[in-house]
Amino acid sequence: MVDVLPLVEARLRSALGEPDARAAVTFLGTDRIEVLRFQEGDIVRYATLGMSAQPMSDPTAVLADPVKGPRAELVLSVRGGLADTDKALRPLAVLAASPQVEGVIVAPGASLDVGEPLWPGAPFSSVLVAEPGGLVEDLDLDEPLDPVRFLPLLPMTPNEAAWKRVHGAQALQERWLTNGTDLRDPSRRSVPLD
């Protein structure tokens, strides 16, 4: 078995530069999840490292395939200095561990909820998983392994999350775009939803 994590970290470094901080979280019965912090100007990016060590498996499967299945890491981008976003490390690690803990497949269009603010005072407790390929390109692995996809996370207010459940991810993203919503603003208000 190939250890994919060094390759994943190398891809993150080539796309985002050198991390200026990293933290590790281990949950009972799961592999260690690290969160790396990258700064570029006023933008701070947090990327998970460890979620892609195992493929995500269908929760209805009797046995998890140790080789085949989607692999991913999560990337959150926010404007620095406006909130204590470094406290998002643990919630991000929780989200990255969810495929191992809950047997879910994290894919674009999904909502992930941590049940508490993403950081102190944050108006968000959930995120929308966006399409990969923009900021960090997929990492192709040798057959038969699936590529590692780097999934951007877009913080959602509780009202946005509820609206998304009814109208869908595409409709919410169009609403954000139409209103010129700054999705990197760590203290932004909900987009108008009426």
Q: Tell me what pLDDT residue 62 has.
A: 67
Say what angle helices 169-178 and 158-167 make with each other, to 10 degrees.
Answer: 120
Summarize pLDDT for 51-84 with one digit per residue, the tens: 999 899 876 766 666 778 899 999 999 999 888 9
Tokens 């490292």 -> residue = 49
- Higher pLDDT pick, 181 / 134: 181
pTM above threshold 0.95: no
Spatial separation of the C-alpha atoms in residues 33 and 9, rounded to whole Å: 12
Q: Tell me what pLDDT residue 149 has.
A: 97
Summarize pLDDT for 98-157 with one digit per residue, the tens: 998 888 899 999 999 999 999 999 999 999 999 998 899 999 999 888 999 999 999 999
Mean pLDDT of 7-33: 91
Q: Tell me what pLDDT residue 31 has.
A: 83
Those residues with Cβ within 8 angstroms of residue 182's Cβ, 6 or more apart along the chain or in another chain:
79, 188
Q: Tell me what pLDDT residue 64 has.
A: 67
Spatial separation of the C-alpha atoms in residues 21 and 49, rounded to whole Å: 13
Q: Please check the confidence at residue 1 and state whether its pLDDT lies above 80.
A: no
Spatial separation of the C-alpha atoms in residues 27 and 151, rounded to whole Å: 22
Output DSSP code: residue 120: T
Spatial separation of the C-alpha atoms in residues 155 and 181, rounded to whole Å: 12
Q: Tell me what pLDDT residue 100 has.
A: 85
Summarize pLDDT for 22-51 with one digit per residue, the tens: 999 887 777 889 999 999 999 999 999 999
Mean pLDDT of 182-186: 96
